[in-house]
Amino acid sequence: MKSGRQSELGYELFVPSMRRRAFVSAALAGAGTVALVLGGGAYALADENEERKARATLRPDGRPRLPPNQYLLKRLRPMGGDEGDPSPGGWRLDVHGEVDAPFKLDFAGMLAMPQVDQACDVHCVTKWTVLDARFTGVRVADLAAAAKVKPSAHHVVFEAAGGYTSNVPLREALAPNVLIAHRLEGTPLARAHGAPVRALVPDLYFWKSAKWLTGIRFVSADAPGFWETRGYHNHADPWREERYS
Domains of the chain are 23-240 (3.90.420.10)
Residue type, position 78, single letter: P
**pLDDT tens sequence across 147-201:** 999 999 999 999 999 999 999 999 999 999 999 999 999 999 999 999 999 999 9
In DSSP notation, 14-62 reads: ----SSS--EEE--SSSTT-EEEEETTEEEEBPPHHHHHHHHHPBPTTS
Sign of CA dihedral 173, 174, 180, 186: negative
Helix, coil or strand: residue 92: strand
Question: Higher pLDDT residue, 17 or 128?
Answer: 128
Average pLDDT, the chain: 88
Measured CA distances, 26 to 32, 45, 204 (Å):
7, 11, 32
- Give the Cα-Cα-Cα angle 198, 8, 207 (nearest 5 degrees): 55
Rounded to whole angstroms, the Cα distance separating 167 from 172 reads 11
Helix, coil or strand: residue 241: coil
Question: Poorest-confidence range of 41-55, 94-108, 169-183?
Answer: 41-55
**Residue 164 contacts by C-beta under 8 Å, 6 or more apart in sequence?**
4, 5, 6, 81, 82, 210, 211, 212, 225, 226
* Cβ(66)–Cβ(49) below 8 Å: no
- pLDDT above 80 for 103: yes
- pLDDT above 50 for 20: no
